[in-house]
Amino acid sequence: MEHLSSVLQKLIGQIPDLHEALRIEFADISRLADMQLGYAVDMAGNDLSGTDEGDWRSTWLVFGYDYGDPVFVDTNEEAKGFPVYVAEHDRDSWEPQEIAKSFLGLIRILQALNEAMHTQKVRYASLVASIEPHTDNIDYWEVVIEGIEENLEQNF
């Protein structure tokens, strides 16, 4: 991952440790190359990316998983602060959806979610209000919040 910008390396290093009930898993910087397997490259190192609609792009860098779906940035979007995407593989094509306007926005969202995990009751409106400035896809995060609420109900 020698082509990885120092800015992105630093941002990945700032991902907070997550409460185990959160459904997103992130890798440390040392595992990034392995996380590209099956997306950007196959086990033999062959390029799996393409330029047709629905193809995996060579500039997409996986750094996490959401229930097996890749969480990634487009390395060409540094000027935008590295928006964060998740993609489902649907009928031989990738359909990315933005989940955070920037990588720093993702970190802020994760911090808010972690904080919510350490309460006895999620203040839903307050949590959504703290997340909304960092995403245009609140629907994605509402599912995560529902999972937090279920976890808290079971543990308190």
Q: H or E stretch including 9?
A: helix 6-13
Q: Is residue 156 part of a domain?
A: no
pTM: 0.88
Buried b (16+ CB within 10 A) or exposed e, 83-117: bbbbbeeeeeebebeebbbbbebbbbbbebbeebb
* Run means of pLDDT, 10 residues per run, the chain, 156 residues: 67 77 78 90 94 94 90 94 90 90 94 82 87 95 83 68
pLDDT value, residue 124: 86
pLDDT value, residue 1: 47
pLDDT value, residue 80: 95
Range of the domain at 66: 1-151
- Order of strands across the sheet that contains 93-100: 24-26, 60-66, 69-74, 84-90, 93-100
25 is written with which tokens?
């898993």
pLDDT value, residue 137: 95
How many structural domains are present in the chain?
1
Q: Is residue 71 part of a domain?
A: yes
